[in-house]
Structure 1
Amino acid sequence: MPTPARPAFRLATAAAASALLLTLAACAPEQPAPTEPVAEPSSEPTPSPEPSETTPEPSPEPELVFTMPADCTVILPADRVGTLEAQGLTLLGGPGSLYGDEYFGDQTPEQLIGGMSCVWGQEGVDLSTILFSVAPLNAVSRESTINELVAQGYVPFEREDSSLAFGVLGEEGIGPAIYNLITDDAWFSVLNSLGGQTGFDESVLFTEEMRGVAYGAIE
């Protein structure tokens, strides 16, 4: 009995179909590899980086150095000298004054340690006079000056800048107002014949002005 040919046909057909699929696969266009998205150009300008602000280091405060005034004409600020002259006061005693150091019968405590004293006032009017004094100090003379003031009954007051103040209010028309200021290397004092609160307040102001001139803080 003859062998049926159908299975061979099926095998041939399957082989032909497989060959066709392989041929089609080989002829199919190759798919492109995915690419990274390209950024669209921006119409906005690119901001420039701002320079970083650097804070400059603060300069150290210059150290104030005490300088002994040359004479009584420069012991106070120029504006204060003009004010005293406008009040009818004259520089009567001390270096550079009308009568010089001969005005004083005895040397003042400041003069005894190398300082100077200056008197402004109306000639012949005792209650018009103001005595300004300044003297350099070292460690020894500073200690002895403080001890002497305390022995006279002054009570020291330590200020914020470590200087020491000694004062007497006085009584207007009777006793003078007195103010002493002692720094590390200088002694400033004012004796105001006016006395009382007004005279004392003036004395404090005058002393601070003398100090400012001597340390170069004011002119």
Structure 2
Amino acid sequence: MQFARPLLGAATASVLLLSGCSLFPSGETTPQPTNSEVAPTPTESAAEGEGTFAVPSDCLTILPKAQVDSYASENIILLAGPGGVYGGELVPDPTPEMLEGGISCYFGYDNDDPNQIQIYSVVSAAPVSATNRDSIAETLLGQGLNEGTNAAGYSTFSILGDTDANVPAMFNVISDDSWISVISVFGGEAFFEENVAIAELVRDQVYN
């Protein structure tokens, strides 16, 4: 299902450099929003009937077409990551999800000047096993994220965020075989709720 989110025009979006995991360059103030390569081997999902998890080969299928079209209607496009307008050239450092064999996809507003690209969110999916699950969870807790459990019984690590304080809304879901994360440039309840919904859309895409 497409998530109906608050409108955010390009004029109010934060102007950021694509800089790996850092969404907010040091010393830069973000304007207030108007509102709210090698294919991995698939692993069997622990959840009954959920199917088989596989990391997408590129970012073109990490979200359903309806959501991609919804983004496009607000001029939000796939900027970076495999299949993006700029591929990996503007992402010099791998994200934590990429280091675990996953994929990270940067959505936002394009600009004639690549140094003034406006990022909206980063959507990622990575494989999880008994080998790396605990270390991923420990890293997220070390970042000050709040641990919880969603309706499906999966572990979540999240923070509501605060746009005024340059703290992005973050939502991570970790199951026995997958790690899905969504990070918004902006913080606050509306953007956090969108992250939760986007994570569910990603989950539908990466299991078959």
User: TM-score over 0.5 for the alignment?
Assistant: yes
Task: Give aligned-pair identity as a percent.
Answer: 37
For structure 1, which runs of at least 5 residues remain unmatched after alignment?
Answer: 1-60
Q: Which has the higher contact order (CA 8 A, sep 6+)?
A: 2
State the SS of the aligned residue for 1:134.
Answer: strand
Pair 1:212–1:63, CA change in 2 (3 A) = closer
* Correspondences of 1:133-212 after superposition (within 5 Å): 133-172=124-163, 174-212=166-204
More strand as a share of residues: 2
Match of 2:108 among 110, 121, 127: 121
For structure 2, which runs of at least 5 residues remain unmatched after alignment?
Answer: 1-47, 111-115
* Correspondences of 1:74-89 after superposition (within 5 Å): 74-89=61-76
Pair 1:89–1:138, CA change in 2 (3 A) = same
Q: In 2, Cα distance between the equivalents of 1:187 and 1:129?
A: 20
- 1:214 alignment counterpart: 206
Q: In 2, Cα distance between the equivalents of 1:77 and 1:166?
A: 24
Q: In 1, Cα distance between the equivalents of 2:150 and 2:68?
A: 27
Q: Is the 8 A contact 1:172 1:199 kept in 2?
A: no
Q: In 2, Cα distance between the equivalents of 1:189 and 1:62?
A: 22
- 2:26 alignment counterpart: none
Please provide the CA RMSD for this pair. 1.5
1:160 Cα offset (Å): 3.7
Q: Is the 8 A contact 2:162 2:187 kept in 1?
A: yes
* Number of matched pairs: 155
State the SS of the aligned residue for 1:84.
Answer: helix
TM-superposition CA deviations, 1:130-186 (whole Å, max 9, x none): 100110111111111011111222221023422111111111353211111101100
Give me the TM-score of the superposition, normalised by structure 2. 0.70
Match status 1:100 vs 2:87: yes
TM-superposition CA deviations, 1:186-216 (whole Å, max 9, x none): 0000111122111111111111110111113
Q: In 2, Cα distance between the equivalents of 1:158 and 1:203?
A: 15
- 1:130 alignment counterpart: 121
More helix as a share of residues: 1
Larger radius of gyration: 1
- 1:5 alignment counterpart: none
State the SS of the aligned residue for 2:92.
Answer: coil
Pair 1:130–1:63, CA change in 2 (3 A) = closer
